[in-house]
Amino acid sequence: MQVYKGLEIVTNKIINTQKQGVKLCQIPTSQLKIFTQHVPIVVGGSNFYIEIPVEDSVFMFKYKYDTCFIWIDVEQSVLNRRVDIRVDQMVNAGLVDEVRQIFILDEDYTKGI
């Protein structure tokens, strides 16, 4: 998921207390090329966030690094419960008010925001 300025709750941006001292760098996949001198660790997101650096012909992740993919497979009912809890937490943290700040009444959103 992309993180947009002013939409920290909606995009589930990690907060400092969750980092537990770990330095994180959230960058668009289009800018991954700047990390060619470091071993990247890609965590979270969908397969899209893994596929881009691995398949990119300029970044050449799969040719430069030994790779290890780790994923968690969970039953749908367990995932649904976790998502329900997370959405409730986001609503309690102010998700609705955050969306109201960017929503323009009578705007045509059929082509995105």
Ranges 78-82, 84-88, 109-113: which has the least confidence: 109-113
Query: What's the Cα-to-Cα distance from 45 to each of 17, 55, 107, rounded to whole Å?
Result: 20, 16, 29
Burial pattern 63-85, b for ≥16 Cβ within 10 A else e, equals: eeeeeeeeeeeeeeeeeeeeeee
Domain boundaries, the chain: 16-102
pLDDT in tens, 55-82: 777 767 777 777 777 777 889 999 999 9
d(CA 45, CA 43): 7
pTM exceeds 0.85 for this model:
no
Q: What is the pLDDT of residue 45?
A: 64
pLDDT in tens, 8-59: 888 877 777 777 777 766 665 555 555 556 666 666 666 776 777 777 777 6
Per this entry, what is the length of the chain?
Answer: 113
